[in-house]
């Protein structure tokens, strides 16, 4: 009887520790330290069958692609080489049911910056949440949460704090 109580007490203590401390799943280790914020990325436009709004937390938990030593070509400053981590753009658009055919993509930042590009030019692009060292962008860049990094395009296509990606069939104007 005493042994049964001890076991029940141990089980109860373990359960309390898990509930209060938060038991971790094996994959939770890599999620530790995700910044809590209200940032979202909207995938929209008539070129998508299933538009979506993704939270920072959702993006941070997605499989990560690592871009190493990417050259950012700048117009008014020296070019720079950097590394980035984040989910690939292509699976995000696939999940939003991108329609077949040529598409124009409008990339929009929280501050109103907007630039258009052909979908095929965004090959290998990622939505960076971390720098090359694995640090959240919020820890390394002032005011930056998400950054679209298209490795084959000049720096003016790298959108800091990207908030909306609008996909339209080529030839249709974007609002």
pLDDT of residue 128: 92
Classify residue 95 as exposed, middle or buried by CB count within 10 Å of its CB (0-12, 13-18, 19+): middle
Torsion sign over Cα 135, 141, 147, 150: negative
pLDDT in tens, 102-117: 999 999 999 999 999 9
pLDDT of residue 43: 97
Q: Which residues of 43-58 are buried (b: 16+ CB within 10 A; e: fewer)?
A: bbbebbeebbebebee
Residue 12 has pLDDT above 50, yes or no: no
What's the DSSP call for residue 48? Answer: B
The Cα–Cα gap between 154 and 70 comes to: 11
| Dihedral angle computed from the Cα positions of residues 145, 149, 154 and 160, in that order, rounded to the nearest 10 degrees | -10
Per-residue pLDDT, averaged over 31-60, amounts to 85
Residue 11 has pLDDT above 70, yes or no: no
What's the DSSP call for residue 77? Answer: S
Tell me how crowded residue 150 is: count the other CB atoms within 10 A of its CB: 22
Name the residue among 30, 40, 96 with its Cα closest to residue 63: 30
pLDDT in tens, 129-160: 998 888 888 887 667 889 999 998 888 888 98
pLDDT of residue 95: 95
pLDDT in tens, 61-115: 999 999 887 767 777 777 777 888 999 999 999 999 999 999 999 999 999 999 9
Domain residue limits, the chain: 1-28, 33-169
- 56-60, 71-75, 148-152, 168-172: least confident range: 71-75
Tell me how crowded residue 160 is: count the other CB atoms within 10 A of its CB: 17
Q: What percent of the chain has pLDDT over 70?
A: 74
Residue 126 has pLDDT above 60, yes or no: yes
Task: Supply the CATH classification number for the domain 33-169.
Answer: 3.90.420.10
**pLDDT classification of 35: cutoffs 50, 70, 90:** low
pTM for this model (two decimals): 0.74
Per-residue pLDDT, averaged over 46-54, amounts to 96
pLDDT of residue 164: 96
């Amino acid at each position: 009887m005493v042994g049964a109580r001890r076991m029940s007490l141990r089980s109860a203590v373990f359960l309390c520790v898990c509930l209060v401390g938060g038991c971790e799943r094996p994959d939770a280790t890599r999620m530790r330290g995700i910044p809590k914020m209200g940032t979202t990325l909207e995938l929209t436009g008539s070129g998508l069958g299933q538009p979506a709004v993704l939270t920072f937390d959702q993006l941070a938990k997605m499989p990560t692609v690592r871009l190493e030593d990417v050259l950012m070509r700048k117009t008014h400053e020296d070019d720079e080489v950097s590394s980035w981590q984040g989910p690939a753009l292509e699976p995000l658009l696939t999940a939003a049911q991108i329609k077949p055919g040529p598409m124009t993509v409008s990339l929009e930042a929280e501050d109103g910056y907007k630039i258009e590009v052909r979908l095929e030019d965004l090959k290998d692009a990622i939505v960076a949440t971390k720098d090359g060292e694995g640090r959240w962008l919020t820890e390394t860049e002032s005011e930056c949460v998400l950054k679209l990094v298209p490795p084959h395009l000049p720096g003016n296509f790298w959108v800091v704090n990207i908030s909306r990606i609008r996909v339209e069939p080529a030839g249709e104007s974007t609002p």
